[in-house]
Amino acid sequence: MSDSEAVRERDLLLAPTVRETANLPRYWELKEHLLAFCEGNRAGTPIPAERRLADEFGISRMTVRQAIQELVIEGRLQRAQGRGTFVAPPKLTHVITLASTSEAMRAQGVTASSRILSLQEKAAPLEVAHRLSLEPGSRVVVLERLRYANSEVMALDYSYFESARFPGLIEKLESGRGVYEILESDYDALPVRADELIEATVASPRVAGLLDTETGAPLLLAQRQGFLADGTPVEWSPTYYRSDRYRFLVQLGL
Protein backbone atom coordinates (compact mmCIF):
# COMPACT_ATOMS: atom_id res chain seq x y z
CA MET A 1 0.00 0.00 0.00
CA SER A 2 1.35 3.45 -0.97
CA ASP A 3 1.61 6.32 1.51
CA SER A 4 -1.26 8.16 -0.18
CA GLU A 5 -3.46 5.07 -0.03
CA ALA A 6 -2.63 4.63 3.66
CA VAL A 7 -3.61 8.26 4.32
CA ARG A 8 -6.92 7.81 2.45
CA GLU A 9 -7.63 4.62 4.43
CA ARG A 10 -6.96 6.41 7.70
CA ASP A 11 -9.26 9.27 6.56
CA LEU A 12 -12.04 6.76 6.04
CA LEU A 13 -11.57 5.50 9.58
CA LEU A 14 -12.04 9.06 10.82
CA ALA A 15 -15.09 9.71 8.64
CA PRO A 16 -18.51 10.16 10.33
CA THR A 17 -20.13 6.95 11.50
CA VAL A 18 -23.85 6.17 11.55
CA ARG A 19 -24.08 7.97 14.89
CA GLU A 20 -25.81 11.34 14.70
CA THR A 21 -23.13 14.01 15.07
CA ALA A 22 -24.83 17.08 13.60
CA ASN A 23 -25.93 18.41 16.98
CA LEU A 24 -22.71 17.60 18.82
CA PRO A 25 -20.14 20.30 19.64
CA ARG A 26 -17.08 19.92 17.41
CA TYR A 27 -14.99 18.95 20.44
CA TRP A 28 -17.27 15.99 21.21
CA GLU A 29 -17.44 15.08 17.56
CA LEU A 30 -13.65 14.85 17.49
CA LYS A 31 -13.61 12.68 20.61
CA GLU A 32 -16.27 10.36 19.16
CA HIS A 33 -14.30 9.97 15.94
CA LEU A 34 -11.08 9.28 17.81
CA LEU A 35 -12.93 6.59 19.77
CA ALA A 36 -14.10 5.08 16.48
CA PHE A 37 -10.50 5.25 15.26
CA CYS A 38 -9.38 3.30 18.35
CA GLU A 39 -12.10 0.69 17.82
CA GLY A 40 -11.14 0.22 14.18
CA ASN A 41 -7.37 0.00 14.56
CA ARG A 42 -4.89 -2.22 16.32
CA ALA A 43 -2.92 -1.16 19.39
CA GLY A 44 0.10 0.88 18.40
CA THR A 45 -1.55 2.60 15.40
CA PRO A 46 -0.64 6.33 15.42
CA ILE A 47 -3.46 8.89 15.36
CA PRO A 48 -3.36 11.81 12.89
CA ALA A 49 -1.34 14.91 13.79
CA GLU A 50 -2.89 17.52 16.09
CA ARG A 51 -2.66 20.26 13.45
CA ARG A 52 -4.52 18.14 10.92
CA LEU A 53 -7.26 17.27 13.41
CA ALA A 54 -7.64 20.94 14.38
CA ASP A 55 -8.04 21.98 10.73
CA GLU A 56 -10.40 19.11 9.93
CA PHE A 57 -12.74 19.72 12.87
CA GLY A 58 -12.47 23.51 12.98
CA ILE A 59 -11.18 23.71 16.55
CA SER A 60 -8.02 24.94 18.24
CA ARG A 61 -5.04 22.70 18.84
CA MET A 62 -5.52 23.26 22.56
CA THR A 63 -9.01 21.76 22.26
CA VAL A 64 -7.59 18.85 20.26
CA ARG A 65 -5.05 18.23 23.05
CA GLN A 66 -7.85 18.27 25.62
CA ALA A 67 -9.79 15.57 23.74
CA ILE A 68 -6.65 13.48 23.32
CA GLN A 69 -5.69 13.90 26.98
CA GLU A 70 -9.12 12.67 28.11
CA LEU A 71 -8.74 9.56 25.96
CA VAL A 72 -5.24 8.99 27.38
CA ILE A 73 -6.68 9.19 30.91
CA GLU A 74 -9.47 6.79 29.90
CA GLY A 75 -6.88 4.34 28.57
CA ARG A 76 -7.97 4.48 24.93
CA LEU A 77 -4.86 6.32 23.70
CA GLN A 78 -1.24 6.04 24.82
CA ARG A 79 1.52 8.63 24.51
CA ALA A 80 5.15 7.77 23.74
CA GLN A 81 7.52 10.64 24.46
CA GLY A 82 9.15 11.91 21.28
CA ARG A 83 7.14 9.50 19.08
CA GLY A 84 3.50 10.58 19.24
CA THR A 85 0.13 9.25 20.37
CA PHE A 86 -1.11 5.74 19.58
CA VAL A 87 -4.09 3.45 20.04
CA ALA A 88 -3.66 1.84 23.46
CA PRO A 89 -3.86 -1.91 24.07
CA PRO A 90 -6.97 -3.20 25.89
CA LYS A 91 -7.06 -2.81 29.65
CA LEU A 92 -6.43 -5.82 31.84
CA THR A 93 -9.56 -6.99 33.66
CA HIS A 94 -9.11 -8.24 37.22
CA VAL A 95 -11.94 -10.46 38.44
CA ILE A 96 -11.99 -9.85 42.18
CA THR A 97 -11.26 -13.11 44.01
CA LEU A 98 -8.82 -14.28 46.66
CA ALA A 99 -6.34 -15.09 43.91
CA SER A 100 -3.12 -13.08 43.88
CA THR A 101 -2.52 -10.31 41.36
CA SER A 102 -0.07 -12.54 39.48
CA GLU A 103 -2.62 -15.35 39.23
CA ALA A 104 -5.26 -12.90 37.98
CA MET A 105 -2.90 -11.69 35.25
CA ARG A 106 -1.87 -15.20 34.21
CA ALA A 107 -5.56 -16.14 33.90
CA GLN A 108 -5.75 -13.64 31.03
CA GLY A 109 -2.75 -15.10 29.24
CA VAL A 110 -0.46 -12.33 30.46
CA THR A 111 3.12 -12.89 31.60
CA ALA A 112 3.14 -11.61 35.18
CA SER A 113 6.23 -10.57 37.08
CA SER A 114 7.19 -8.38 40.02
CA ARG A 115 10.17 -6.46 41.36
CA ILE A 116 10.78 -5.96 45.07
CA LEU A 117 11.53 -2.31 45.86
CA SER A 118 11.93 -2.76 49.61
CA LEU A 119 11.48 -5.49 52.20
CA GLN A 120 11.93 -4.55 55.84
CA GLU A 121 10.66 -4.80 59.38
CA LYS A 122 9.43 -1.63 61.06
CA ALA A 123 7.10 -0.29 63.73
CA ALA A 124 3.50 -0.39 62.55
CA PRO A 125 1.94 3.00 61.73
CA LEU A 126 -1.47 3.59 63.31
CA GLU A 127 -3.41 2.63 60.16
CA VAL A 128 -1.47 -0.63 59.74
CA ALA A 129 -1.81 -1.52 63.42
CA HIS A 130 -5.56 -0.94 63.22
CA ARG A 131 -5.91 -3.09 60.07
CA LEU A 132 -3.98 -5.99 61.63
CA SER A 133 -5.53 -5.62 65.12
CA LEU A 134 -2.13 -4.86 66.65
CA GLU A 135 -0.94 -2.45 69.29
CA PRO A 136 0.52 0.73 67.78
CA GLY A 137 4.26 0.34 67.36
CA SER A 138 4.13 -3.46 66.98
CA ARG A 139 6.69 -4.82 64.53
CA VAL A 140 5.46 -5.58 61.03
CA VAL A 141 7.05 -6.86 57.83
CA VAL A 142 6.55 -4.45 54.93
CA LEU A 143 6.87 -5.64 51.33
CA GLU A 144 6.86 -3.04 48.53
CA ARG A 145 6.70 -4.31 44.95
CA LEU A 146 6.11 -3.21 41.40
CA ARG A 147 3.82 -5.53 39.44
CA TYR A 148 4.28 -6.02 35.68
CA ALA A 149 2.17 -7.48 32.86
CA ASN A 150 4.17 -8.43 29.77
CA SER A 151 7.00 -6.22 31.09
CA GLU A 152 4.70 -3.16 31.38
CA VAL A 153 4.36 -1.72 34.88
CA MET A 154 0.77 -1.98 36.13
CA ALA A 155 0.70 -1.54 39.88
CA LEU A 156 2.57 -0.56 43.03
CA ASP A 157 1.81 -3.01 45.82
CA TYR A 158 2.37 -2.86 49.59
CA SER A 159 1.82 -5.83 51.90
CA TYR A 160 1.94 -5.72 55.71
CA PHE A 161 2.24 -8.74 58.05
CA GLU A 162 2.71 -9.10 61.80
CA SER A 163 6.37 -9.99 62.45
CA ALA A 164 5.68 -12.10 65.55
CA ARG A 165 3.14 -14.26 63.70
CA PHE A 166 5.48 -14.86 60.76
CA PRO A 167 9.06 -15.35 62.02
CA GLY A 168 11.61 -15.53 59.23
CA LEU A 169 9.17 -14.09 56.66
CA ILE A 170 11.68 -11.62 55.21
CA GLU A 171 14.15 -14.36 54.31
CA LYS A 172 11.40 -16.48 52.76
CA LEU A 173 10.12 -13.56 50.65
CA GLU A 174 13.65 -12.82 49.47
CA SER A 175 13.71 -16.29 47.90
CA GLY A 176 11.26 -15.14 45.23
CA ARG A 177 8.41 -17.45 46.20
CA GLY A 178 4.84 -16.15 46.07
CA VAL A 179 3.40 -14.51 49.18
CA TYR A 180 0.30 -16.71 49.36
CA GLU A 181 2.36 -19.83 48.70
CA ILE A 182 4.57 -18.97 51.69
CA LEU A 183 1.64 -18.14 53.97
CA GLU A 184 -0.01 -21.47 53.17
CA SER A 185 2.92 -23.88 53.10
CA ASP A 186 5.19 -22.37 55.75
CA TYR A 187 2.74 -20.86 58.25
CA ASP A 188 -0.64 -22.52 57.55
CA ALA A 189 -2.08 -19.01 57.46
CA LEU A 190 -3.59 -18.59 54.01
CA PRO A 191 -6.44 -16.04 54.09
CA VAL A 192 -9.82 -17.68 53.45
CA ARG A 193 -11.74 -14.44 52.96
CA ALA A 194 -10.94 -10.80 52.36
CA ASP A 195 -12.48 -7.37 52.31
CA GLU A 196 -11.37 -5.23 49.37
CA LEU A 197 -12.10 -1.51 49.18
CA ILE A 198 -11.51 0.16 45.80
CA GLU A 199 -11.50 3.92 45.36
CA ALA A 200 -10.16 6.60 43.06
CA THR A 201 -6.97 8.48 43.90
CA VAL A 202 -4.22 10.39 42.10
CA ALA A 203 -0.52 9.69 41.67
CA SER A 204 1.95 11.41 43.96
CA PRO A 205 5.28 12.37 42.39
CA ARG A 206 6.98 9.23 43.74
CA VAL A 207 4.16 6.87 42.75
CA ALA A 208 3.91 8.49 39.31
CA GLY A 209 7.62 7.94 38.73
CA LEU A 210 7.38 4.27 39.71
CA LEU A 211 4.28 3.63 37.60
CA ASP A 212 5.62 5.47 34.55
CA THR A 213 2.77 7.97 34.52
CA GLU A 214 2.24 11.67 35.31
CA THR A 215 1.95 13.29 38.73
CA GLY A 216 -1.75 13.72 39.44
CA ALA A 217 -2.75 10.96 37.01
CA PRO A 218 -5.87 9.04 38.11
CA LEU A 219 -5.21 5.72 39.81
CA LEU A 220 -7.27 2.97 41.42
CA LEU A 221 -6.39 2.21 45.03
CA ALA A 222 -7.43 -1.29 46.13
CA GLN A 223 -7.03 -2.01 49.86
CA ARG A 224 -7.28 -5.71 50.73
CA GLN A 225 -7.58 -7.03 54.26
CA GLY A 226 -7.19 -10.82 54.45
CA PHE A 227 -8.60 -12.95 57.29
CA LEU A 228 -8.21 -16.48 58.62
CA ALA A 229 -11.26 -18.68 59.22
CA ASP A 230 -11.52 -17.46 62.83
CA GLY A 231 -11.63 -13.81 61.68
CA THR A 232 -8.01 -12.97 62.54
CA PRO A 233 -6.58 -10.40 60.10
CA VAL A 234 -3.24 -11.61 58.70
CA GLU A 235 -2.61 -9.29 55.76
CA TRP A 236 -3.26 -5.72 54.73
CA SER A 237 -2.33 -4.83 51.14
CA PRO A 238 -2.98 -1.41 49.62
CA THR A 239 -2.20 -1.48 45.88
CA TYR A 240 -2.08 1.42 43.41
CA TYR A 241 -3.20 0.44 39.90
CA ARG A 242 -2.87 2.48 36.73
CA SER A 243 -6.48 3.21 35.85
CA ASP A 244 -5.56 3.68 32.17
CA ARG A 245 -4.36 0.07 32.01
CA TYR A 246 -6.40 -1.77 34.63
CA ARG A 247 -10.03 -2.35 35.56
CA PHE A 248 -11.89 -4.54 38.04
CA LEU A 249 -14.81 -6.92 37.48
CA VAL A 250 -17.16 -7.93 40.30
CA GLN A 251 -19.29 -10.98 39.50
CA LEU A 252 -22.62 -11.12 41.31
CA GLY A 253 -25.19 -13.87 41.60
CA LEU A 254 -28.38 -14.71 43.46
φ, ψ of residue 248 to 5 degrees: the values are: -115, 145
The domain defined by 3-87 folds into Arc Repressor Mutant, subunit A (1.10.10)
Give the pairing type, strands 84-87 and 233-242.
Answer: unpaired
pLDDT tens, residue order, the chain (254 aa): 544 445 444 444 444 443 444 455 777 888 888 888 888 888 888 988 889 988 888 888 898 888 888 888 887 888 887 788 888 888 777 666 666 566 666 666 778 889 999 999 999 999 999 999 999 899 999 999 999 988 889 999 999 999 999 999 999 999 988 899 999 999 999 999 999 999 999 999 999 999 999 899 899 999 999 999 999 999 999 999 999 888 887 777 76
Asked if residues 162 and 235 have their Cβ atoms less than 8 Å apart, the reply is no
For domain 92-249, give the CATH number.
Answer: 3.40.1410.10
Cβ within 8 Å of residue 148, ≥6 positions away: 112, 113, 114, 115, 154
Portions of the chain given CATH number 3.40.1410.10: 92-249
Portions of the chain given CATH number 1.10.10.10: 3-87
